[in-house]
Amino acid sequence: MDLASHPEAARSRDRILDLLLTSEEPMPVQGLGAALGISRNAAHQQVTALEREGLIERASAIRTKGRPSQGFRLSAAGKATFPRQYVLLAKQLLEELSRHLGPDELKRAMTRIGLTLANSLPAGLPDDADQRIVAIAELMRGLGYESRAIEGPEGPQIEAHNCVFHDLAMADPGICEVDLALLRAASGQQVEHRRCMARGERSCRFAFTPKR
């Protein structure tokens, strides 16, 4: 049986994550079982599944009167499952920047962010221009984009059906300069934003041409 698909098991799973979020110290399997009112075996099954998914991790052993017990805590991925108002905060930061920066200065700030993202990409992209575009599309997926390389009239293009800045770009299309700067720096080519979700289109599409 898939534990996550069973209603009671799913509730236990969520409660374990809640307990580990609020606990100041790592918790052992038996402690989690006692807190949830379930057997040690049932708690162990849930902990094993959560550890396998990378949502919790082993911490230092907990000393007891008997043998030390293995403690568990939330991993970074586990903490990320809890709601965070990143978009709200980012919109407020963007509004604050817009109040203090003119359009040209804001564009330069977005360009710097795009360059920083490009510098965070792994080294060793292919030298061949077309292969490099395909590799960039794959790396963008690791940043949260739903991106893929497609064949365009002049060669490979990158199409993205999800943008990590989508909500911000809808509020201010100037945010798209982050994507453009990222792609220019990573590809070493000029980039044309041929389709844009911020303009109401179904996806973003970027075409590449060699720099003059």
Closest CA to 177 of 114, 98, 93: 114
> For residue 108, what is the domain's CATH number?
3.90.1520.10
> What's the pLDDT tens digit per position in 65-115?
667 789 999 998 888 787 666 667 777 887 888 888 888 888 899 899 999
CATH number of residue 53's parent domain: 1.10.10.10
Given 47, 79, 111, the domain boundary residue is 79
Asked if residue 69 and residue 137 are part of one domain, the reply reads no
Q: Which residue range(s) make up the domain with 69? A: 3-79
**106 shares its domain with 204:** yes
Distance CA 151, CA 21 (A): 46
Residue 205, pLDDT > 80, answer yes
Q: How far apart are CA 197 and CA 203, in angstroms?
A: 5
Structure tokens at 137: 């599309």
Q: Specify the pTM.
A: 0.60
Return the structure tokens found at 53.
Answer: 């998914």
Which pLDDT tens digit goes with each residue over 177-197? 999 999 999 999 999 999 998
Q: Burial level of 107, CB count in 10 A (0-12/13-18/19+)?
A: middle
Residue 31 near residue 71 (C-beta atoms within 8 A)? no
